[in-house]
Amino acid sequence: MTGILGKMACLQYREYCRLNKKSFAMIYISHPYIEERADRVYLISRLLDETHGWNEELWFSVAPEYRESLCEDYADSFLLLTLLPAIKSGQDIKVDAPISRRLLFNIRNTIQPIFARMMGKAQIRIEAEPSDAVLYHGKGVGCGCSLGVDSMSSFLRHFGQEGKDGYHVTHLTLFNSGQLGSHDLQSGCDNLIRSVERLKPFSDAVELPICAVDSNLNAYYIANGVSLLHSFVLRTCACAMALQKLFGNYVYASSYAVHQFEFSMYDASHMESAYAPLCSTENFNLILSNPDMTRVEKTDYIRRWAETPKFLQACWAEQVAYNVGHDTRFLEGKKKVNCGWCDKCKRTLLALELLQGDISMYEDQYDLEKYRAHRDEFIARVFREYTHNVFYRELRELILQKQMPLPPMAQEIVRRQKMKAALRSRAMKMFMLCKKICRRFLHV
Ligand SMILES: [Zn+2]
């Protein structure tokens, strides 16, 4: 790397590292370039991550019709992707290409401090040239569309009457950025192809094109050990930003309502309202969608659209099998698009049942037989675990609000919880009484 930094600069850098007790290793990002390979077009940057021994291409690929949408003037996407691995390993970043002025400022000023605090690490130095020299004026509005509750409510918010103000969705997007399979590169790519196939009927119905982005970014994250929960938002933003010649605006579906904000060391989505809109450039504006809605409110919003039962796909069977503990139970004997008994299916169906009573219109897409077999056990779980699960908390509130009769298992849990609360209250009263007596007679 002496060639890049120069001898003097290298010595200065070593002195800086010594003073700041940092590693000498760095991450180098080359100027992005575009190449056609087989039937895809690639946006590529050569990445050298000295700590993790990664000296390979980092790439995004799209279908040929999106060639002119790929942004090679700025290395914005690649900087977003390397930020967390750099913070985690204490490496500075040097970028051999301009970075959009707005994004670079936001990363240095807000995004990096939030993630450094979250990961319990020191902030790093980013060597890059800020620029706003090239403007694209992209007219496209992208919207992630996995057809789950979050993405469907985002789509409807920005596609219907409410969204006809220049920010209405023009493209449905699907990204292979980790959530489609994190165990190997090929399965992520295969899942992307399957997801595009699944989205086609919806795309035909709403008459919008699908823009699918493949990437090897997940392989890089496996190498550097930054989790999907830490990096989910930045990975998604990076994929969308790679197409900033097309997407002047991009609708990002919020995971939590803004009043559910919490500083989390494990899941950066809890804090998305603080930094997601800052993942923007002079050419690309990230819109955090539905920050005012909880998951139950989003479910209530989408169920009012007559077409929802035909398209809703809120199932975790694949992700649980491939990403979380390799648990294949929900995939075994799966008869419909939605398995009906993974946590996400049960959450969605229980909310729909509470909100509209009859859920038989979801029969074609969901295995309702499986849901009914596991429903009572799930309601008991909601009451047992609601204190540390925000979605269960919402469902519990809805159950109480709707005065739904509880199954015996849940009744027993509520009885025990009431008993524990009464004992706690009695113990507290005794403690306060003892304290009063001690103060009065013993002057303690
Ligand atoms: Zn499922």
Centroid of ligand 1 to alpha carbon of 342 (angstroms)? 4
Helical pair 295-303 and 149-159, crossing angle rounded to 10 deg: 60
Is residue 115 within 8 Å of residue 268, measured between CB atoms? Answer: yes
Whole-angstrom CA distances from 323 to 25, 316, 320, 391, 430 are 30, 10, 6, 20, 49
From CA 105, how far away is CA 95, in angstroms rounded? Answer: 15
Is residue 348 within 8 Å of residue 149, measured between CB atoms? Answer: yes
The tens digit of pLDDT for each residue in 96-105 reads 999 999 999 9
Centroid of ligand 1 to alpha carbon of 403 (angstroms)? 26
Centroid of ligand 1 to alpha carbon of 433 (angstroms)? 52
Q: What is the pLDDT of residue 162?
A: 58
Centroid of ligand 1 to alpha carbon of 73 (angstroms)? 42
The tens digit of pLDDT for each residue in 133-181 reads 999 999 999 999 999 999 999 999 998 665 567 789 999 999 999 877 6
Centroid of ligand 1 to alpha carbon of 14 (angstroms)? 52
Which residues in 210-332 belong to E strands, given as ranges? 210-215, 247-253, 285-289
Centroid of ligand 1 to alpha carbon of 300 (angstroms)? 19
Q: What is the pLDDT of residue 436?
A: 84
Centroid of ligand 1 to alpha carbon of 30 (angstroms)? 41
Residues of the chain with pLDDT under 70: 1-23, 160-164, 181-184, 323-325, 443-444
Q: DSSP string covering 126-165, please?
A: EEEEEE--------EEEEE---SHHHHHHHHHHHSGGG-S
Q: What is the pLDDT of residue 439?
A: 82
Centroid of ligand 1 to alpha carbon of 350 (angstroms)? 13
Q: DSSP string covering 163-199, please?
A: G-SS----EEEEE-SSTT-SS-HHHHHHHHHHHHHHH
Centroid of ligand 1 to alpha carbon of 202 (angstroms)? 19
3-state SS, residue 26: strand
Centroid of ligand 1 to alpha carbon of 336 (angstroms)? 9
Centroid of ligand 1 to alpha carbon of 374 (angstroms)? 12
Q: What is the pLDDT of residue 1?
A: 43
Can you tell me which residue has the tokens 């240095």?
Answer: 108
Q: What is the pLDDT of residue 325?
A: 63
Which residues in 228-323 belong to E strands, given as ranges? 247-253, 285-289
Query: Angle at CA 271, nearest 5°, toward 269 and 277?
Result: 90
From CA 92, how far away is CA 14, in angstroms rounded? Answer: 12
Q: What is the pLDDT of residue 36?
A: 97
Q: What is the pLDDT of residue 371?
A: 97
Is residue 233 within 8 Å of residue 280, measured between CB atoms? Answer: no
The neighbourhood of ligand 1, an ion, using CB within 5 A, equals: 315, 317, 339, 342, 345
Centroid of ligand 1 to alpha carbon of 344 (angstroms)? 6
